[in-house]
Amino acid sequence: MNFFFSWTKFGIAAATYPFSTAIIFLCRIGPANSWLIEDVTTNFGGTLSEKLIRTIGRQKFFALKNISIPQVKDDVGYETFYIPKQHVAKAIEQIDQPMIVSFIGNESWLFSLHVGMVYQDSDHLMLRHASMSAGKVIEEPFLPYLTRMKRFIGIKLLKIYN
């Protein structure tokens, strides 16, 4: 794969794939992205939300992808909340605007395994995301996707500022 990275001072990377170009939000919630997004996970998850503590293994991530970057920031500890998979259906009932969804996995050194946009259409909550299997950006119902993906343990929700 051919990758091009930019905007790293904001914690945002633009990745160019042979089949598409996408903006990938490396979900480092906090000062780096507070001008753009707000973590609203606990607003929707409430008491169903659980604490998550991870060390973000930046060097390991890039090494596994065979990406050579001259300067990779040091690994960093990160504490946040997420909505466990079994509680997502209840927690997302009130979503009324498009949001970034970050899919949390079991990897102890990696925070987010996948990122997409969720939005309400006339019938149900939809997910718009870059699908590796389809080789392009697709839209599909959100909850069936989450259920099908066994590697995800839950989600974070991020509100985009207007």
- Tokens of residue 145, six digits: 């996707």
Q: What is the pTM of this model?
A: 0.75
42 by DSSP, 3-state: which?
helix
- Tokens of residue 55, six digits: 């060390």
Q: Give Dmax (Cα) for the chain.
A: 47
75 secondary structure, DSSP code: P
Mean pLDDT across the chain, nearest whole number?
79
pLDDT tens track for 101-144: 999 998 777 778 899 999 998 888 999 999 988 999 999 999 99
CATH topology of domain 30-160: putative xylanase like fold (2.30.260)
Domain boundaries, the chain: 30-160
